[in-house]
Structure 1
Amino acid sequence: MKIKVLGSAAGGGFPQWNCNCGNCTLARRTAGQPAVSAHAASPDAANPTVHARTQSSLIVGEEGSADWVLINASPDILTQIRATPELQPARGRRDSGIAAVLLMDAQIDHVTGLLMLRESSRPLNIHATAPVLADLRTGLPLLTVLSHYCGTVEHTLALDGQPFAIAPLKHVRFQALALSSKAPPYSPHRHDPHPGDNIGLLITDTRSGRRVFYAPGLGEIDPAVAQAMRSADVLMLDGTFWDEDEMIRLELSSKPARSMGHLPQSGAGGMLERLGDYADKRRILIHINNSNPVLRHDSPEHAQLRAHGIELAYDGMEIVP
């Protein structure tokens, strides 16, 4: 099994188009520089302190196969495809390495890239929970729009904890786990959370038995999430905010982190503290907001990540569990 990060930023990307916070301003000055891992050497003149990132998504595939499962279709999908040669195997006049799409939720930054795939020569295979598919027929009717183009084949994800396969991958199994969250603002049940509005994924290589737990939107580590984390070898978790009041303090929003469904990294009960129980695993933060100081490689917060042995995802990062 092989996983490749297409995008590692939260909604809006980094730098965000209309944001002039310190991080975004610095990112514009260093535009065009490649991303590096959280364990890169200390920045110098040849290694700027921040690197641009597109909105979060992954691809999952198998060694020797030209087919991939796309997990979330971000608004940056076309940029991500151009940067990922694996997604254009060129087996025919019209071709793509994207065999199927699995959606974690119905949030704009995870689904609107579907519209950019409308020229597909075959219907898009879309795997999502019942609440997500319902939201994509009602509040944000992307499935209706796509029916006038390539069309879709919808596969409803069960939340029964049972492993399932997505063709044509032969040796990868997925398990969907309901997370505590809210539906998107445009959902008819925005204020009535349903199981499956947001999921985590346990991804298993059946040959090696190695597992990855992926949860880019995680507001609470409840017992079921903790069990999934214990069973995994690699954790790819919500890295949106450093502080609970980060957006308020920077005058970017009036909402604290947890109210937006994201567990902050710092503070009592925060992600860094909770990840201390999983020091035997590879731990990677993904879905990083433009306001988060960990984006600066020279920041004290970034140094804390390194001290805890926690990595920061970047666009193009490859993971072989």
Structure 2
Amino acid sequence: MKILVLGSGAGGGFPQWNCNCRLCAGQRQGELAAHARTQSSVAVSADGESWVLLNASPDIGQQIRNHPQLHPRQGLRDTPIKAVVLMDAQIDHVSGLLGLREGPCVDLYATPCVFEDLTTGLPLLNVLQHYCGTRWHMLPVAGHQTRADFEIDGFASLRFTALAIPGKAPPYSPHRREQVVGDNIALLIEDLYDRRRLFYSPGLAEVGPQELQWMCDADCLLVDGTFWEEEEMQRAGLSGKTATEMGHLPQIGSAARAGMVDVLQATTARRKVLIHINNSNPILDEASAPRRLLDAHGIEVAYDGMEITL
């Protein structure tokens, strides 16, 4: 299995276009050892020829141009991107669908909750019907159904499993304040030839026994790295919300709950990688103490263009 990190930043990317915090300003001015990042999206392939997008970032056009693996190969119009799987309906994960409108009909895999949000509160799919159109493949994660195995045509050697996880619906969603099963999913992707597994969850509000078991069953973890600490945005003066209120588990824990670093230490995955890094997170500074702590624990920080082969 081949995994290509197209974008490793959280919403707004890094540096965020309107942010003058220490990290964003330092990166722009060349005073910080930190790479720029586009907004989070990943591509997965079994053979390096055909690819599935996991989320469609607003930066998708730039990301495709930056990665030759996704360039057209045959005829005047072509794309090796064969399908898109959505983890949620957050704007930074779905608005890139509009950037695919010049291509063929989009085979879209999403839960009923996400489909509803994208045809009502943020009707991107309605708009796309006037361009390339979409084919919705329902991931039946809803109600009491918290897990669904599915296949994607053309990817016979990969088995996909959608897993309901704790998180937040987007602010525009009618169920922002009350979580509904299917608002947020993680993916477990297994290569049926060598049984290697990827667990992908760029947004993860909590890791309970079930989530931990899924993570322990994976060879590679590509998980929520949004915030370093619970009150990060407040301390930076960027927002009054905590990591929990925004639907993310920070890397550093507290007396109330373990952080993502603790969780990752409890797993045996060969690769442990943080993705969806917010512009406020000090791990963006490669010379920082938090970054050294991650290095000491064998935890990697995703970057745009990162390639992983399982």
Q: Which residue of 1 aligns with 2:124?
A: 142
Separation in 1 of the partners of 2:14 and 2:153?
A: 33
Q: What is the identity percentage for the equivalent residue pairs of Structure 1 and Structure 2?
A: 56
Instruction: Report SS of the residue matched to 1:278.
Output: coil
Q: Please, which of 95, 111, 117 is the counterpart of residue 129 of structure 1?
A: 111
- 2:206 alignment counterpart: 220
Q: Deviations over 1:275-315 (max 9, x none)?
A: 11114532100000000000001100100000111000000
Pair 1:61-2:50 in alignment: no
Which residue of 1 is the match for residue 290 of structure 2?
301
Pair 1:94 & 2:77 matched: yes
Who is 1:44 aligned against?
none
SS in 2 for 1:70: strand
Deviations 1:94-129 (A, max 9, x none): 111111110000000000001111111x21111000
TM-score, length of structure 1 as denominator length: 0.92
Q: Structure 2 residue aligned with 1:249, among 235, 239, 245?
A: 235
Contact 1:66 1:89 in 2 (8 A): no
Corresponding residue for 1:232? 218
Unaligned runs of 5+ residues in structure 1 are: 32-47
1:108 to 2:91 alignment: yes
Q: Which runs of 5+ in 2 are unaligned?
A: none
In structure 2, what is the Cα distance between the partners aligned to 1:11 and 1:308? Answer: 26
Opposite residue 50 of structure 1, the aligned amino acid is A
Match of 2:126, SS?
A: helix
Match for 1:185 among 171, 175, 178? 171
Residues 280 and 204 (structure 1), Cα distance of their counterparts in 2 relative to 1, 3 Å cut = closer
Q: Deviations over 1:3-50 (max 9, x none)?
A: 10000000000000000111101211239xxxxxxxxxxxxxxxx610
Corresponding residue for 2:2? Answer: 2
| Residues in 2 aligned to 1:30 and 1:178: alpha-carbon distance in whole angstroms | 41
1:276 matched to which residue of 2? Answer: 265
Question: Within the alignment, does 1:13 sit opposite 2:13 as a pair?
Answer: yes
CA contact 2:139–2:148 (8 Å) conserved in 1: no
Alignment partners' CA distance in 1, 2:201 and 2:220: 11
Q: Specify the SS of the correspondent of 1:175.
A: strand
Q: 1:22 to 1:92 in 2, by over 3 A?
A: same
Q: Which amino acid aligns with 2:281?
A: N
- Give the aligned partner of residue 51 of structure 1: 35
Aligned twin of 2:134: 152
Aligned CA-pair RMSD: 1.3
Q: Which amino acid aligns with 1:217?
A: G
Aligned residues: 303
Alpha-carbon distance, 1:188 to partner: 2.0
Structure 1 residues 124 and 280: CA distance shift in structure 2, 3 A: closer
Summarize deviations over 1:31-80 as a string: whole Å, max 9, x none: 9xxxxxxxxxxxxxxxx6100000000001122x5211011001000010
Quote the Cα distance in structure 1 between the aligned partners of 2:300 and 2:125.
36
The letter for the 2-side match of 1:103 is L
SS in 2 for 1:116: helix
Distance of 1:286 and 1:126 partners within structure 2: 22
Q: Distance in 2 between matches of 1:162 and 1:195?
A: 12
**Structure 1, 184-193 or 79-88: larger mean CA deviation:** 184-193
